[in-house]
Amino acid sequence: MAEVYDIIIIGAGPGGLAAGIYASRSKLKTLVIEKGRVGGQAATTEEMENYPGYFSGTTGPELMEKMHQHAQHFGCQFVKDEVVDLELGEFQKTVITKKGRYHAKAVIIGSGAQPRPLGVMGEQELKGKGVSYCATCDADFFEDLDVVVVGNGDAAIEEAIYLTRFAAKVSIIVIHDEGILDATKVIQERALANDKIEFVWNSVLEEIKGDGLVESVLVKNLKTGEVTDLEANGVFIFVGTVPRTQFLQGKVDLDERGYIPTSQLMETSQDGVYAVGDVRQKYLRQVVTAASDGAIAAVAAEKFIHEEENFQTEVLQKEKVAVMFWTPMEQACLDQVPLVEEMAAAGKLDLVKIDTYRNQRIARRYNIEQLPTLLFLEDGAETGRETGPLTREKLQSHF
């Protein structure tokens, strides 16, 4: 029989690793599937000084490796593989990879995002031949050479500063007027004070040129229309990211950009499936927010598994059962519980009470709109329902 995990986590970025820590520490059998380097995009960030507790700075690879070891310490398992499909319709879900099939009661998606290409002429042809999207990965190839950076957000400016450790000169092409950058103030100040950095304002990159390797770029000034041929040995592009959700088409709801909308519990549109980190539709994409997502998703998934296993045992696997959806927060529900309990006992029918204040998910599954509602099931299939006020006359035929 195939091995069944409690939780399978897709992606070992900070969100996936945090989920792995919380899930495995809760004694849930947890597997993380990662196709590439553990740590995701965070593992390609050299300088990191805004993660709580690391005010003197650390590196992305170092922090991610500590998270990796932390998850392993609690028994979280890791496998290197690529997810190509999912079967999510049942309580036991199937994750299909290039190498096999894995089964779990809950799935946490942390597949992250990848750098957005600029889409200019020469970019695709010279990718890996001077065109890069990761300064930490490739900076040492450009020692004492001239490079160009495209972008002006935090990632672009931080990576440009890092490149100055290696390159002779770093030219940053900025679409805005002189002095205007999208990066946070402290990062701007460091870049503006760096002698190796030169800003090319009011401009866009039009073409990357080279015969086998990058040799120069064409830069267009947006105000004058003038196109300049700027000599460069490397081009680093930081213009945002694209979510890795191609394998999720038709599996969970995605927004128009391909990101996954979630609830505050990290729930996707599918029961028992959660999303964390950069793949989520969210306001701030940082290591600290991804880690928070992972912790929330793991706790929510644990609660889902516990509730669903109980519901399977107490309701769906019973020959006949009555399910009362109620809440002790409403007096009308409290007043009607004794009658329902009395009639269920007299009719020798199992009664399961579900507090919708604590378990809204199962109430949504059965479209419960009024409380109290009494549901009657046989072999897991609904055979009838009554909504409040519940009277002896209403319930007589069911019991």
Active site residues: 134, 137-138
- Scan for tokens 């604590």, then name that residue: 358
Q: Which amino acid is at 90?
A: E
Element (H, E) at 307: helix 287-311
Smallest CA-to-CA distance from 83 within 31, 170, 165, 11 is with 11
- Residue-wise DSSP of 348-389: T--EEEEETTT-HHHHHHTT--SSSEEEEEETTEEEEEEESS
Query: Using CA atoms, how far apart are residues 32 and 38, in angstroms rounded to an integer?
Result: 10
**β-strand pairing of 320-326 with 351-355:** parallel
- The C-alpha atoms of residue 252 and residue 273 are separated, in whole angstroms, by 8
Phi, psi of 171 (to 5 degrees): -100, 120
Contact between residue 10 and residue 63 where contact means Cβ atoms under 8 Å apart: no
**Residue 354 contacts by C-beta under 8 Å, 6 or more apart in sequence?**
323, 324, 325, 326, 362, 363
Cβ atoms of residues 296 and 265 within 8 Å: yes
